[in-house]
Amino acid sequence: MADIEAQVRAQAEAAKKAARALSVMPSGAKDKALLAMADTLGKRSEMILHANTLDLEEARDKGLKRSYLDRLMLSEDRLEQMAESLRQTAALPDPVAKGDYSVVRPNGLEIRRVRVPLGVIGIIYEARPNVTAEAAGLCLKSGNAVLLRGGSEAIRSNTAISQVLAQAAYEAGIPEGALQFLETTDRGAVDVMSHLNGLLDVIIPRGGAGLIQRIVEQSSVPVIQTGTGVCHTFVDESADFEMALRIALNAKTSRPSVCNAMETLLVHGGIAEAFLPGLCRAMQQKGVELRGCERTRAICPELAEATEEDWSAEYGDLILAVKVVDDVDAAIEHINRYNTGHSETIVTENLKHAHKFQREVDAAAVYVNASTRFTDGFEFGFGGEIGISTQKLHARGPMGLAELTSTKYLIYGEGQVRE
Amino acid sequence: MADIEAQVRAQAEAAKKAARALSVMPSGAKDKALLAMADTLGKRSEMILHANTLDLEEARDKGLKRSYLDRLMLSEDRLEQMAESLRQTAALPDPVAKGDYSVVRPNGLEIRRVRVPLGVIGIIYEARPNVTAEAAGLCLKSGNAVLLRGGSEAIRSNTAISQVLAQAAYEAGIPEGALQFLETTDRGAVDVMSHLNGLLDVIIPRGGAGLIQRIVEQSSVPVIQTGTGVCHTFVDESADFEMALRIALNAKTSRPSVCNAMETLLVHGGIAEAFLPGLCRAMQQKGVELRGCERTRAICPELAEATEEDWSAEYGDLILAVKVVDDVDAAIEHINRYNTGHSETIVTENLKHAHKFQREVDAAAVYVNASTRFTDGFEFGFGGEIGISTQKLHARGPMGLAELTSTKYLIYGEGQVRE
């Protein structure tokens, strides 16, 4: 443990040292480095893919699931996608030094507030090695140094990727040490990271609810909570049935493993009998397992019974809980009780209900007549995304480059003192 | 402990219930309540001052310092100041529902981001009972419910103030339970608060470094770190001596106990011999105890020796550490090593040095040719202040009403689903 602590701390200190110079680097220099990083992924693909093969062999030996192996696997194509994502990040506007408040006070003091990098960002993530390149790119572009901690199953792939990226970045002029990756699978490293106050400015965990919960509970470094999504679709009495069916199917089945997928469908009691049978058939045709409340099962008796746990479950799979509610108020109450503050949608033709739902539902993204699946940085027009915050502090919803910055007040005076 | 946990949790739950209705309350209704709260402080002054007398008696019996007793003591005048502060808060613009991002995406989705209240804010503070009214006013104005935990020495005063304020707020239409005060001196209450994830959206500690440190370390609820200030003044080679002296004296002596007061003076080596003797005399005339580095003591041999601890000390008193540095780079390096990210100032006539100092010093407020004492919400034009954040996440520097809000994305569609 002492060794790990020393190692993690040394890497965080190196990152902090680099962060200072990086924070005032002009956009052009950062973009040049990002493009060099993109290029190196292609040039060094053989070495990266070899490391990935070793990770995959070990994962297969461990008997890990096919879907897991698929997320872990790299290929020339996937490396090219990672490179393309870095090039897109380079093309985004730099958030640093942008002013967002400016005032001249009666005493003549000129006060401006400008965006500055956060400093050193800790990212703790699981499985997918593409996060290594994406996170590194977004952090460097926003002027931050980064300390990455990836999942143990991808340790060789992540090590290879981060080594070639760090080297390319350094050769292109990024301060040495700005991109740090923890080349250890020791679980103690996460605990050490969580208490590096003064070295890490924030930790962003990306992964399952268990990982995130553990870090939120233990970390004294500020954490941005991301990703858990118990998302709802509420089909109101006035809904266009065809639209409601399309939205519900999209929200549940287009990619059930992601955090903006629907987990619970709420249906207004006044249309439940007319709407639910068709909905259930369509869902079942897509292979969705349905679990209904009592009123739902009175209409669709073949459904399994939903228990209390189902209302707060993030299945991440082709399973859907279905509940009949009395009205929009009951829908809002259910959502505010069981949701995780991610994405919620109402399908309605009623203006008052649409407005009420958007005002009163407590979530990062509240939709009217659209699928919850749109909640992400690209769909929202940010050009990139480091994660989706489900907390209210600092950032809420998809986090782009601006969310990786803080602010600083710059004050010009001519000798003013306070009375 | 179980009793305390149940009590704190019950009050937080009541606050959370109220927060929902409060979050969508129009400004007019909130302002009316704030004015009623202001009025009640005058009407119920007898009861509040009686409670305060009991607190003062106990504090005197305990032998607490005179300066402490002064902060604790209330009077008709001080109650009127508290009332006036509530009236000023009522007159400020409401930050809630203000839009700050808006885009129509190529697929026709209309995305807006608006400010929403954080929800329930926990405030943990020491000594001064005026915080009770100020914090309650700022939280309610920004649509937040609040759970207040004051210092044990002011328990009767705070209980009285919060009771009359809560009653006035409720009678004026604020949802019942929106203003909660923990009427207990049990120290376990703070530990319980720190782990009320899901009920409290943020904790803002206001008090000494020890209190803040303890809460940052233990809390799983997000915390905004406030108030610790190891602030520096750097007198550059080109400084106007008269201005430098005026700024340094103001920063150190105008109110040494506050967080934006100077703790360390840095002087450029090229002017140290010319500047320091006069500076030392002027400080000593104001009763300031000086502690110097070796180079300082070579010029002013009567000074005590500064040790390593002095460079990171927040004296909060008429004590000043003085150090001679080689140049602006050395000054920046010293500051970034020892400061707490609060307020720093350079006195210079050199444009390049001013620019470099502002860019490279890592702090919430970086001044050129003005006293660090200006860092507060009133001086910055926010009309009020809940504290001064020394962290980079969520808010940095003086926090006004806007900093007590989060955001929410509102998305209108016409049936869009994601490919």
The DSSP string of A268-284 is EHHHHHHHHHHHHHHHH
Q: Which chain B residue has the Cα nearest residue A217?
A: B220
**Rounded to an integer, what distance in angstroms lies between the CA atom of residue A215 and that of residue A246?**
37
**Rounded to an integer, what distance in angstroms lies between the CA atom of residue A294 and that of residue A303?**
10
Q: Is A13 left (phi over 0), alpha (psi -120 to 50) or beta?
A: alpha
Q: Which residues of chain A have pLDDT under 70?
A: 1, 127
**pLDDT, tens only, B359-376:** 999 999 999 999 999 999
Q: Which chain B residue has the Cα nearest residue A332?
A: B20
Q: Residue type at A321?
A: A
Q: Residue type at B336?
A: N
Domain B2-225+393-412 matches domain B231-374 at the CATH topology level: no
What CATH number should be reported for the domain whose range is A2-225+391-411? 3.40.605.10
**Rounded to an integer, what distance in angstroms lies between the CA atom of residue B388 and that of residue B395?**
9
pLDDT of residue A1: 61
Q: Which of B398, B363, B403 is nearest to B377 (CA)?
A: B398
Is the CB of residue A29 less than 8 Å from the CB of residue A161? no
Residue in B118, B246, B392 nearest the CB of A417 = B246
**Rounded to an integer, what distance in angstroms lies between the CA atom of residue A191 and that of residue A238?**
51
Nearest 10 degrees: CA dihedral of B17, B20, B23, B28?
A: -70
Q: Which chain A residue has the Cα nearest residue B374?
A: A418
**pLDDT, tens only, B60-118:** 999 988 888 988 999 999 999 999 999 999 999 999 999 999 999 999 999 999 999 99
Mean pLDDT, rounded, of chain B: 95
The architecture (CATH level 2) of B2-225+393-412 comes to 3-Layer(aba) Sandwich (3.40)
- Best mutation site among A393, A405, A407, A412 for testing chain B: the one with the most B CBs within 10 Å? A393
For residue B379, the chain A residues in CB contact (below 8 A) are 105, 109, 418
Model confidence at B126, pLDDT cuts 50, 70, 90, reads confident
- Please list, residue by residue across A171-197, b when 16 or more beta carbons sit within 10 angstroms of its beta carbon and e when fewer do: ebebbebbbbbbebeeeebbbbbbbbb
Q: Residue type at A157?
A: S
**What CATH topology corresponds to B231-374?**
Aldehyde Dehydrogenase; Chain A, domain 2 (3.40.309)
A332 part of contact set with chain B, CB < 8 Å: no
Is the CB of residue A304 less than 8 Å from the CB of residue A315? no
CB contact under 8 A, B379 and A418: yes
pLDDT of residue B384: 82
CB contact under 8 A, B381 and A105: yes
B254 part of contact set with chain A, CB < 8 Å: yes
Identify which of A227-231, B144-148, B209-213 has the greatest average pLDDT: B144-148
Residue in B247, B407, B413 nearest the CB of A369 = B413
Q: Which chain B residue has the Cα nearest residue A243?
A: B415
Q: How many CB pairs under 8 A join A and B?
A: 199
**pLDDT, tens only, B329-365:** 999 999 999 999 999 999 999 999 999 999 999 999 9
B337 part of contact set with chain A, CB < 8 Å: no
Residue in B216, B220, B410 nearest the CB of A216 = B220
A302 part of contact set with chain B, CB < 8 Å: no
**pLDDT, tens only, B232-263:** 999 999 999 999 999 999 999 999 989 999 99
For residue A109, the chain B residues in CB contact (below 8 A) are 370, 374, 379
pLDDT of residue A2: 75
Q: Rounded to a whole number, what is the distance in Å from the CA of B375 to chain A's nearest CA?
A: 9
Q: Which of B11, B127, B125, B233 is nearest to A417 (CA)?
A: B233
Is the CB of residue A203 less than 8 Å from the CB of residue A193? yes
Q: Which chain B residue has the Cα nearest residue A410?
A: B366
Within its chain, how far is the Cα of A302 from the centroid? 37
Q: Rounded to a whole number, what is the distance in Å from the CA of B263 to chain A's nearest CA?
A: 16
pLDDT of residue B281 exceeding 80, the answer is yes
* Interface subset of A 231-250, CB within 8 angstroms of B: 240, 243, 246-247, 249-250
pLDDT of residue B1: 61
Tell how strand A319-325 and strand A289-292 pair up. Answer: parallel
| Sequence spans of domains, chain A | 2-225+391-411, 231-374
Q: Which of A88, A92, A89, A75 is nearest to A41 (CA)?
A: A75
**Rounded to an integer, what distance in angstroms lies between the CA atom of residue B192 and that of residue B10?**
11
**What are the tokens at B397?**
């520097």
* Interface subset of A 210-229, CB within 8 angstroms of B: 216-218, 220, 222-224
pLDDT of residue B127: 66
**pLDDT, tens only, A93-131:** 999 999 999 999 999 999 999 999 999 999 999 868 989
**What are the tokens at A401?**
């480059």
CB contact under 8 A, B413 and A370: yes
Q: Rounded to a whole number, what is the distance in Å from the CA of B121 to chain A's nearest CA?
A: 11
pLDDT of residue A213: 87
CA distances (Å), origin A349, targets A156, A236, B242, B309, B392: 53, 8, 70, 67, 43
| B92 SS3 class | coil
